[in-house]
Structure 1
């Protein structure tokens, strides 16, 4: 059945993303070091007159947010080297609203150049993958504990949210510097993006399911609001030309600004991924026909067979209707707000708040980082961040400019590498860019040129005669 195929895809996605992770703040705190920082704020531009980022090698990133680790899922079997699945330990760690989310991107091409001293243009194309899955804790507790503890008690699960999206974006960005409030420097920028969708799966945001166990018969009544599973691209991915162009199209926009409050203090604000994709090609939607069903119970003690048993039971109890109606999916909008203060001639402290709209829910990440420039070749940064449902993580990054070639990388959870079993997030972002010229040098040269020429003072000649003598008619002869 197609539902089983979706389940298999979901398992594969979760398995892949569990091995990779990143929160964006360690890389964000590198400032305008790389062209890829423009993903966070359209006004960010590296110190170069012109740059080129080539396919694949210039930008590869992954992003995972998870609320538990390996040790929360498996526990050691005493006296052996083996481990066992520990559902009670997992449920005790899990909170309602916890989610597993993954973002990945590969830079296909990026080109940027300045327009005079005030403007800049950037062209780009990126491959992007996003997925989110909210853990249905109440439903898991009901299934694993059994219905004995819930007689005549309705168990409602409204965290049936999940989605997977794969698309490509082509875009152009423009930024410009303005002078406001007398002499304050304000930069504003925008990136307009055309979106080409390839793969999508999502459940209605308001989907829910409830379980009620009858006290006499112990039968279980399952009620739903007839949610719809929307999919696109699963049967058309291998068709000729589908991954180049198809009818699944959309539009997105990023906006941003930063302002120099004082010579040492700068603030920045941006909203990224405002937009949506209309899915019209390769669409298959699955809508439950019945909103209520009753069954005698399930035996899920054999975890190896639990998935098949649950899937088969649901297919028998709930019939569904398949349609090909088009649907729309929104991008996961992110907002960055930060303030940077120069504490040393080459050192800056930055505090950042990031919020993300994920399937209708807001999540917040906080971070404080220190960035230091070592000469003109090397920039290093370290960050302490706090992500949803996680403790504090320490990360860092660096970028080195070797002539016109720039190498960069960042990692968000350095300490996590000491024990992978306790790791909840990992960061691995890296790439190579090609930067030509130094834009900061040209700005300094222009500033020096604009200075008013210094006039050599002329000494005033003092006459030895009193002021009442009118000697203006006499010619002064210099010896």
Structure 2
């Protein structure tokens, strides 16, 4: 249990550099880069055959700048985390998330009216929701709330890692005006940690005698696979690799998307990704504390040799806790995109995008406005994104270039982070390389130049 609490604290503050994995700039390449099917399944490539080499992407973004997280006191050579500065940067409710995705392979095949795909990914995400009282407690303990209550009920953690393999299909209808896409994925859960839904906890400090009143409800932390990581000495040397390759934490999930050409110059679209649940059966551990309210008046520590252990034992004896191995279900962190694109010309496109992460079943969208220009087989774009709760703007860019059968692409939502990164609160990057063949097959005959006839 001690290791679990320590890991949880490291997890909480290790993800403070992240928020809202929108991948806005990457989303703008959805008509060109096959891997963007993970964001918009209604994707039909230009090429007959596509093979995607392994790629990776990650997001790091926060409610505060790096210089507000780490500081160096005057006259000191070491950096430190200043919780009082973090408290000043906190809103009443703070939502933080991070996302890492590795595309292991992607194969796409285009048909006359649509396209098929086969893919495999490894994914990990961490989502945190906490209130200002949580950061107040981390900064000052209960010293500023004597005679008052610290409410930690707004705090939730959801950490997930899994691998997926699946197939996708997109098809055109209504004379190519409507494109509908779907992907079916077999999910294998690897590692997980989350607080139970409805978990709550409060701490009240009596102003007369400084006694504590602690109340807990639904105080359960569900985990899977973490015991392998934290107590690896208790298992065979190959236990972790065997568990990662094949276990019983399997399920099925879906991605759905659609695009509709309202006018020749206007297209609207929507996508909902990661619809499904994981049933955790193997390597499950549940850490439970019974619903209770206890009063702690303090203990006499003066003169005791092991005072810290006595204090810890006196608190632990107040609570009834246990460890179980009960199966549990968790929903995947579903994500939605809504977009409208205005084509000034066949080469110039303006897009407005809204993104929402539903991990805690909340509607709290981020927005972006983008422009992309295409010259032959080279596309580049600029993007400005806005996060409503944080009132923060970021400037991004994306590039995709086809060089013979090779396609290169890179996308970032904050292109300015390389200049004084401590002044920014976000860093993200998606990049990759694809092999693409058969482009001329899908061009109108008049657009294909017959070199032998010249």
The question of whether the paired residues in 2 share the 8 Å contact of 1:125 and 1:170 is answered with yes
The question of whether the paired residues in 1 share the 8 Å contact of 2:296 and 2:315 is answered with no
Q: TM-score, normalised by structure 2?
A: 0.87
**Greater mean alpha carbon deviation, residues 199-208 or residues 236-245:** 236-245
Classify the secondary structure of the residue corresponding to 2:258. strand
**Greater mean alpha carbon deviation, residues 12-21 or residues 63-72:** 12-21
Q: Work out the CA distance in 1 between the residues paired with 2:310 and 2:164.
A: 40
Superposition deviation, residue 340 in structure 1: 0.8
Distance 1:434 1:184, change over 3 A: closer
Aligned equivalent of 1:64? 60
Aligned equivalent of 1:303? none
Aligned equivalent of 1:291? 292
Aligned equivalent of 1:323? 324
Aligned equivalent of 1:385? 385
Distance 1:208 1:438, change over 3 A: same
Superposition deviation, residue 46 in structure 1: 2.8
Q: Work out the CA distance in 1 between the residues paired with 2:311 and 2:328.
A: 28
Q: Work out the CA distance in 2 between the residues paired with 1:47 and 1:10.
A: 47
The question of whether the paired residues in 2 share the 8 Å contact of 1:23 and 1:64 is answered with no
Classify the secondary structure of the residue corresponding to 1:77. coil
Aligned equivalent of 1:259? 260
Classify the secondary structure of the residue corresponding to 1:415. coil
Superposition deviation, residue 392 in structure 1: 0.1
Pick one of 108, 115, 118 that aligns with 1:112: 108
Superposition deviation, residue 250 in structure 1: 1.1
Q: Work out the CA distance in 2 between the residues paired with 1:444 and 1:314.
A: 76
The question of whether the paired residues in 2 share the 8 Å contact of 1:255 and 1:270 is answered with yes
**Greater mean alpha carbon deviation, residues 408-417 or residues 80-89:** 80-89
1:174 aligns with 2:174: no
1:129 aligns with 2:121: no
Superposition deviation, residue 175 in structure 1: 1.1
Q: Work out the CA distance in 2 between the residues paired with 1:25 and 1:384.
A: 9
Q: Work out the CA distance in 2 between the residues paired with 1:235 and 1:82.
A: 34
The question of whether the paired residues in 1 share the 8 Å contact of 2:196 and 2:218 is answered with no
Aligned equivalent of 1:44? 43
Superposition deviation, residue 160 in structure 1: 2.0
Superposition deviation, residue 71 in structure 1: 1.9
| Cα deviation code 1:151-179 (max 9, x no counterpart) | 44333222220021110111111111001
Aligned equivalent of 2:234? none
Q: Work out the CA distance in 1 between the residues paired with 2:296 and 2:91.
A: 28
Superposition deviation, residue 356 in structure 1: 1.1
Q: TM-score, normalised by structure 1?
A: 0.82
Superposition deviation, residue 311 in structure 1: 8.2
Q: Work out the CA distance in 1 between the residues paired with 2:438 and 2:329.
A: 43
| Cα deviation code 1:396-450 (max 9, x no counterpart) | 11011111111111111112221121221111111111111216x62523999xx
Distance 1:71 1:17, change over 3 A: closer
Q: Work out the CA distance in 1 between the residues paired with 2:185 and 2:16.
A: 26
Aligned equivalent of 1:442? 442
The question of whether the paired residues in 2 share the 8 Å contact of 1:371 and 1:379 is answered with yes
Q: Work out the CA distance in 2 between the residues paired with 1:369 and 1:309.
A: 60
Q: Work out the CA distance in 1 between the residues paired with 2:186 and 2:429.
A: 27
Pick one of 190, 193, 196 that aligns with 1:201: 193
Aligned equivalent of 1:337? 338
The question of whether the paired residues in 1 share the 8 Å contact of 2:286 and 2:325 is answered with yes
Classify the secondary structure of the residue corresponding to 1:90. helix
Aligned equivalent of 2:271? 270
Q: How many residues align?
A: 430
The gaps in structure 1 that reach 5 residues or longer are: 299-306, 449-479
Classify the secondary structure of the residue corresponding to 1:202. strand
Q: Work out the CA distance in 2 between the residues paired with 1:345 and 1:294.
A: 70
Q: Work out the CA distance in 2 between the residues paired with 1:263 and 1:73.
A: 48
Q: Work out the CA distance in 2 between the residues paired with 1:283 and 1:64.
A: 29
Aligned equivalent of 2:303? none
Q: Work out the CA distance in 2 between the residues paired with 1:359 and 1:227.
A: 17
| Cα deviation code 1:24-50 (max 9, x no counterpart) | 101111231111111111111332111
Aligned equivalent of 1:408? 409
Classify the secondary structure of the residue corresponding to 2:177. strand
Q: Work out the CA distance in 2 between the residues paired with 1:399 and 1:146.
A: 50
Classify the secondary structure of the residue corresponding to 2:257. strand
The question of whether the paired residues in 2 share the 8 Å contact of 1:69 and 1:423 is answered with yes
Distance 1:152 1:78, change over 3 A: closer
Q: Work out the CA distance in 2 between the residues paired with 1:412 and 1:46.
A: 24
The gaps in structure 2 that reach 5 residues or longer are: 230-237, 300-307, 449-454
Distance 1:26 1:294, change over 3 A: same
**Greater mean alpha carbon deviation, residues 378-387 or residues 314-323:** 314-323
Aligned equivalent of 1:466? none
Aligned equivalent of 1:232? 224
The question of whether the paired residues in 2 share the 8 Å contact of 1:20 and 1:427 is answered with no
Superposition deviation, residue 126 in structure 1: 0.5
The question of whether the paired residues in 1 share the 8 Å contact of 2:219 and 2:289 is answered with yes
Q: Work out the CA distance in 1 between the residues paired with 2:427 and 2:192.
A: 25
